[in-house]
A and B are shown apart, each in its own frame.
Chain A
Amino acid sequence: MTPALPSRPPDSVTTAGAGLFADALRSQAVPVSEVDWQPPMPGTADDLAEVAGDPLRRDANALAVERVLGVQAMLVGLAPAADLLDLERGHFLHAGPPLTWDRASGPMRGALMGAAAFEGIVEDPEDAARLFASGALTFEPCHHRGAVGPMAGVVSPSMWMYVLEDPASERRTFCSLNEGLGKVLRYGAYSAEVLTRLGWMRDVLGPLLAEAVDASGPVDATGILTQMLQMGDEAHNRNRAGTLMLLRDLSPAMARSRRSADDVAEALTFIGGNDHFFLNIAMPACKLALDAARGIDGSTMVVAMSRNGTDFGIQVAGTGDAWFTGPAQVADGLYLGDFGPADANPDIGDSAITETAGIGGFSMAAAPAIVRFVGGTVPDALATTRRMHEITLAENPRWQIPVLDFRGAPTGIDVSLVCRTGILPQINTGMAGKVAGTGQVGAGLVTPPAEIFPAALSALAARARGRRSPSP
């Protein structure tokens, strides 16, 4: 923008506040853009001013955006978690902020119990509960080891993981393979059928995909995401185009592998029949981008949103490793079969990393085909994406949304903008049954608990005050 010579009229005026002044400008034939200003979240005015006045903020956020948008996420390989993450027997990873067994929800407990059985630590998953309760078996957040996990997000040492790498920085992130829908470990189911499928994924699918990636070379996950948004996927609840593009890239190498034709056919059928298969690549691709912005002093950008089925937590670029948590909400949406709201567990999973990066619920406008699946309408979807632009720092020039005239995906949630507008991030999510062992009961829309944003803002403000007047 160019400041005007004072004797020339401005090309337009933006007004915030009394509508009277906007009217007065219109009566003078000046183009006016009028802000629909509302008071910020209660109690945040002082912290908002402190953070807005932080001399580091503008450059810090510009740097955070630049770093996030600069990441190229390449799928470079697959290997067991034990090798990649230094994950020892008896130790597990889970979705969301840190959690203790006594506070763990049904699906989280079910997934951990199932994983213990999968590792052969117990014969019957039910026997694992005691071991987790006693501390004999331990667990920590996926995010703490560079990984993300959908729903319960439980990772055990022998599970195969995707490895996503940013070639420029050689930083890496990880995610397990998608198990499909219905009764699956990530929704807290742990029946024999669930464990059998996990075994096949460990023995056949993982090694086959690893061989295919090695043979065909890295897969450009960021590039696939770009195309997905133009093909009707929002890459959280709909990954159909992404899954098929992955197959397109890997199937020749799979066909040429040393595996039997039956194994290859079974793997192709499994992947092709699972519309969410690409989600487990989209998630670490998003984390890889967002991790680039971690630890930038003064930045108000959210770098992770995550839920463990009990708490919803966020991490912010300018507040180090701190988690700001509040109670996870139950999603509003549609239920499978006879299930209803009483069956649903509060929100769970690291998959909100997609929204944090600007896709999923934030790019809902790109995926009109699934708006009803998550309980919305097409106009809602367009409005949601536009609304998310109010709380984000940038538009992703790579991830464009055709129906919004190729506007970029809303990227980089700004804690202060959430507090100023009261607009909460919109997340598309699946719903797990709250009783361990149930599996998926539905899908819908959810938002974080509002109070975690003022809490994060307050921490940012405290840091800004500290910089302004360093303690002696």
Chain B
Amino acid sequence: MTSPTDHVEIRPGAYADSVTLLQVSRDVAATPGVVAAQVAMATPLNVEVLGSMGFAVPDCSPNDLVVALRLADPDGLEAARGAVDAALAAARAGRADRSTAVAPPRTTRTSLPASGTQAVLALVSVPGAHAFVEAIDALDAGCDVMVFSDNVSLEQEVALKQVAVDRGLLVMGPDCGTAAIGGVGLGFANTVRPGPVGIVAASGTGCQQVMCLLEAAGVGVGAALGVGGRDLSTEVGAISTRTALLRLDSDPAIERVLVVSKPPAPEVATALEEYAASLATPIDLALLGPGQPDLTSAVEGLLGRLGVPVPSWPSCGHPATETAGSLLRGLFVGGTLCDEAMLIATEALGPIRSNIPLEPELALDASLTADGHLMVDFGDDSLTRGRAHPMIDPTVRLDHLARAAADPRTGVVLLDVVLGHGAEADPAAALAPAIAACGPPVVVACVGTESDPQVLSRQAAALAAAGAEVHLSNAAAVRRAVAILGGRR
């Protein structure tokens, strides 16, 4: 049943990317008389979100644009639709402004230089079902490619990486959030000084954590090559990790390499250790897993080997000491940060339910709630199909934060805030009011640097002013959250 103030229309064939549509939705929602607005591609996930908002969406295909408006007064429809058209036109004009009379290229293939000796890199972030084709274009042109897109099948990932290996090329991803090449950040990337450390990362936010800790210790990063979260799985067998290590090994500017990964397949980890030992450049492996060092310890170990003193990792805000609730609620945008938090907290608190659980029996259902300790990765594939990543679009996490804050069982809320190129321009602005309104203590891991567009100290100060305890080290933040709960199980 659609209320008289609700309006839903389908616009077939009017494609725009999810980030653009997020901005359009925000602009329309800010129009006087509009109570709520969602302009999105009609993917199953988005249709579900619209359904949960109470909109009745007619049959449509994922290639259709759906415009859903909730109005204060039905008479405001014309103005609201005008605002949608204006916002869409503005988004298009923003892109067209940069173009000349010549239409922009329509495929990765035609956007690459026809020939030459330039070092060109391709960055693919189209919806997952279409990413393979664009990435193959890059490999066909003899060019390395970073595939930011998630929801690419494992079969396609293996095929892509096999082609790359045959041609001596590097595939970063799929689902590679972060890379830095010669100081240029790709995807979500922090601004750090150049230096002797090379990073190979099967995890985006893990890579960011390591880069930001090194920056805080005064050590620069020469290159950070992402390989995608599944590269160290049995099926993929570390194909891209090996290529990345080989590249870094042949680069005279790189003195030491750190490999960062979510928990890898054991046999792949073993083979990788052997491979790493065969290279000239010293390789350190920071492979997360039970009984393994966390990322902060891994960085501390690396600093030791570089002969650099370990600093005291920055933190701010008022330390919370007690809480009425007993449960830990971790709400993450970074998958590796979530993994690391679960590994650390499990030791003290026992099993933790999650949508990316350490053990299959700990999986959460679609409601993402449970009567127990839980941690959610809002950046997981199943929560980003047809939506922007939560590092860009905070909507879904803010919704769950409000629910956790209102739940008397909540003892501590643990959050990550990841800064850098590509991420939200001012994440603290949206989070601070929610933190201030939260009864239970809030501990935040704020991963960033002073040179990031958002500026680490400003974000940390805003979060602290709202009442949160803020740490640069995710491991430190998790240990503080556990301590506040008194380590109770």
Contacts and interface: CB of A to CB of B under 8 A. Distances in A.
Binding partners A and B: yes
Interface of A: 1-21, 24-25, 27-28, 30, 33-40, 42, 45, 48-49, 52-53, 58, 383, 386-387, 389-390, 395, 416-417, 420-421, 423
B121 interface: yes
B63 A39 contact: yes
Given A19-B17, A21-B123, A38-B106, A10 B130 contact: no
Given A7-B182, A20-B19, A40-B130, A1 B142 contact: yes
B144 A13 contact: no
Nearest to A42: B63
A367 B31 CA distance: 50
A6 to B, nearest CB: 3
A9 B61 contact: no
A79 to B, nearest CB: 43
Interface in B183-240: 183-187, 189, 194, 198, 222-223, 225
B222 A6 contact: yes
A49 B155 CA distance: 11
A464 B109 CA distance: 21
B181 interface: yes
B168 A3 contact: yes
B225 A2 contact: no
Contacts of A33: 105, 111-112
Interface stretch (B131-139, B323-331, B362-370): B131-139
B61 A420 contact: no
B55 interface: no
Contacts of B108: 14, 16, 35
Contacts of A27: 421, 453
Contact of A38 (B15, B114, B182): B15
Given A10-B182, A21-B422, A15 B15 contact: no
A221 B133 CA distance: 38
Contact of A25 (B105, B186, B392): B186
Interface stretch (B247-255, B268-276, B288-296, B335-343): B247-255
The 9 closest A-B pairs by CB, nearest first: A17-B125, A9-B182, A6-B223, A4-B119, A7-B253, A7-B222, A24-B421, A36-B104, A11-B118
Contacts of B247: 3, 5-6
Given A14-B122, A19-B20, A28-B185, A7 B223 contact: yes
27 contacts: A1-B118, A1-B143, A3-B170, A8-B182, A10-B119, A11-B119, A14-B108, A15-B124, A16-B108, A19-B19, A20-B392, A25-B184, A27-B421, A27-B453, A28-B184, A36-B105, A37-B17, A37-B126, A38-B106, A42-B63, A52-B132, A53-B136, A387-B103, A395-B114, A416-B133, A417-B107, A421-B107
B384 to A, nearest CB: 12
B118 A53 contact: no
Nearest to A61: B140
Given A16-B125, A33-B111, A9 B184 contact: yes
B303 interface: no
Quick one: which of A16, A19, A390, A420 has the most chain B CB within 10 A?
A: A16
B192 to A, nearest CB: 12
Nearest to B179: A6
B204 to A, nearest CB: 13
B308 interface: no
Given A1-B141, A45-B129, 10 more contacts: A5-B250, A12-B118, A13-B184, A14-B108, A16-B134, A25-B186, A35-B104, A35-B111, A37-B134, A387-B103
Interface of B: 15, 17-20, 61, 63, 94-95, 98, 102-114, 116-127, 129-130, 132-134, 136, 138, 140-144, 148-149, 156, 159-160, 163, 168-170, 181-187, 189, 194, 198, 222-223, 225, 244, 247-248, 250-251, 253-254, 388, 392, 421-422, 453
Given A1-B119, A17-B149, A18-B18, A6 B61 contact: no
A37 B186 CA distance: 19
B103 A16 contact: no
A53 B153 CA distance: 13
Given A14-B108, A49-B156, A386 B102 contact: yes
Contacts of B225: 6
Given A5-B251, A7-B223, A39-B15, A423 B119 contact: no
Contact of A1 (B95, B113, B453): B113
Given A16-B122, A24-B422, A389 B104 contact: no
Contacts of A420: 106-107, 133
A42 B61 contact: yes
Contacts of A9: 181-184
A342 B203 CA distance: 63
B132 A17 contact: no
Given A24-B421, A33-B111, A390 B105 contact: yes
Contact of B130 (A3, A18, A39, A417): A39
Contacts of B159: 53
A49 B133 contact: yes
B169 A3 contact: yes
B103 A386 contact: yes
B196 to A, nearest CB: 9
B106 A37 contact: yes
A13 B144 CA distance: 10
B95 A34 contact: yes
Contacts of A52: 132-133, 136
Quick one: which of A17, A24, A36 has the most chain B CB within 10 A?
A: A17
A58 B156 contact: no
B152 to A, nearest CB: 9
Contact of A6 (B111, B168, B182): B182
